Structure 1
Amino acid sequence: MNTLDKIKIGSTARVDKIIGDSPTKRRIMDMGITKNTEVFVRKVAPLGDPIQISLRGYELTIRKEDAKNIRVEEI
């Protein structure tokens, strides 16, 4: 299993699990990232932070630190 920060640009992945403490999990889930959600990595900033993803019909920019807490399976 990879984490979201290691997925290449243009790839799609399915969320397997959100790891971390309770407030971190809640913040990530409030953004719409939940188990079995498909995410498409659109862009990564030149220095690697933040990461722009598409999910559930909208664009989301997420910090690399948060992306490290999202385990995904590439599809």
Structure 2
Amino acid sequence: MTLDLLPFGSTALITAVDWDQIPREDAQRLRVLGLDEGAEVGLAHRGVFGGKDPLAVTIGRMTVALRRSHAAAMTVHAE
């Protein structure tokens, strides 16, 4: 499953990222924040506007706002 489909309140391990689907600058920023293969993430909130963007994703003690399209490029394994 991809990160954008992770059930609310769940945690998962990022197993793969299709970096070609994410613009280069955004991909670089996400890597710096630790959103890469092997990271444990949780889905804290979903946006309420239109396509439900952005998603609030927890990684460690940090919460990051993430576009749904970026989350769709990340394959996760739910724990």
TM-score range, shorter-chain basis?
Answer: 0.7 to 0.9
Secondary structure of the corresponding residue to residue 28 of structure 1: helix
- Structure 1, unpaired ranges of 5+: none
Per the TM alignment, residue 16 of structure 1 is displaced from its structure 2 partner at its CA by 0.3
Taking structure 1 as the reference length, the TM-score comes to 0.86
Number of corresponding residues: 74
Percent identity among equivalent residues?
A: 23
Per the TM alignment, residue 28 of structure 1 is displaced from its structure 2 partner at its CA by 2.6
| CA distances 1:8-67 after superposition (whole Å, capped 9, x unpaired) | 110001000110328254343122112111101100012311000110211101000110
Amino acid at match of 2:10: S
Taking structure 2 as the reference length, the TM-score comes to 0.82
Which moved further from structure 2: 8-17 or 19-28? Answer: 19-28
How much is the aligned-residue C-alpha RMSD, in angstroms?
1.6
Amino acid at match of 1:29: R
